[in-house]
Chains A and B, each alone.
Chain A
Amino acid sequence: DTEVTQTPKHLVMGMTNKKSLKCEQHMGHRAMYWYKQKAKKPPELMFVYSYEKLSINESVPSRFSPECPNSSLLNLHLHALQPEDSALYLCASSQGRWANYGYTFGSGTRLTVV
């Protein structure tokens, strides 16, 4: 298995809802990432997990809460989001913590906040 799987593919949620995005990989990668991508923009880093521990939080609002239950799974819990949070949320993984291992991206969850 050489893929990163994200679910759901699409999500529409209200500003008072609580939802979760899920990411799974079975490549034995020990670093996992959440990126946010707005239309016609590059991916922007949100969180980095290395060996299941949060190593980077790029000043992301607390309404986004990441979780890494084990080395294969990465979740992003969403609560009280704003319409401007609508974007494509990409999960990625890499063999090791450093950039030169290259990233494998999932297909993303397209989130719409109404």
Chain B
Amino acid sequence: GENVEQHPSTLSVQEGDSAVIKCTYSDSASNYFPWYKQELGKRPQLIIDIRSNVGEKKDQRIAVTLNKTAKHFSLHITETQPEDSAVYFCAAPTSGGSQGNLIFGKGTKLSVKP
């Protein structure tokens, strides 16, 4: 089955700086990779996802890159703002391709200091 590792576990940046969170996965057949943001006491919310037919996807200040050869994908947040402070989880399907359920990385607590 799939195994997802996420780094770093905590990340502190100054407002306006960029933040990068990286995840590695084990199943080369996996082809769907979402990122969820969970603010304190709130629900996880899907912020961006990528499928393996593309190498990068952007949505305003957020981007995700995928390296299928190395089996890793990364979340990039530019021009960080205090409201970006949250725990971010990467995920991948538990079975090959996009099948199965989502297994989550252990999370990265991002703190953006004003």
Using CB atoms and an 8 Å cutoff, list the residues of chain A in contact with chain B: 33, 40-43, 45, 48, 56, 90, 98-100, 102-108
A92 CB to nearest B CB, Å: 8
For B13-48 the 0/1 string (1 means CB < 8 A from A) is 000000000000000000110101000001111100
Listed by A's residue number, 14 A-B pairs whose Cβ atoms lie within 8 Å are A41-B107, A42-B107, A43-B104, A45-B102, A98-B93, A99-B32, A99-B101, A100-B32, A100-B51, A103-B34, A103-B46, A105-B43, A105-B44, A106-B43
Residues of B within 8 A of A (CB): 31-32, 34, 36, 42-46, 49, 51, 89, 91-94, 98-107
**How many inter-chain contacts with C-beta < 8 Å in the A-B complex?**
55
Q: From A99, which residue of chain B is reached at the shortest CB distance?
A: B93
B46 — which chain A residues lie within 8 A by C-beta? 102-104
Enumerate chain A residues within 8 angstroms of B43, measured Cβ to Cβ.
90, 105-108
B49 touches A102 (CB 8 A): yes
In the bound complex, what is the Cα–Cα distance between A99 and B95 (angstroms)? 9
List of A residues within 8 angstroms of B49 by Cβ: 100, 102
Given contacts A56-B101, A90-B43, A105-B43, 16 further A-B contacts (CB under 8 A): A42-B105, A45-B103, A90-B44, A98-B93, A98-B100, A99-B92, A99-B99, A100-B32, A100-B49, A100-B51, A100-B93, A103-B44, A103-B46, A104-B46, A107-B42, A108-B43
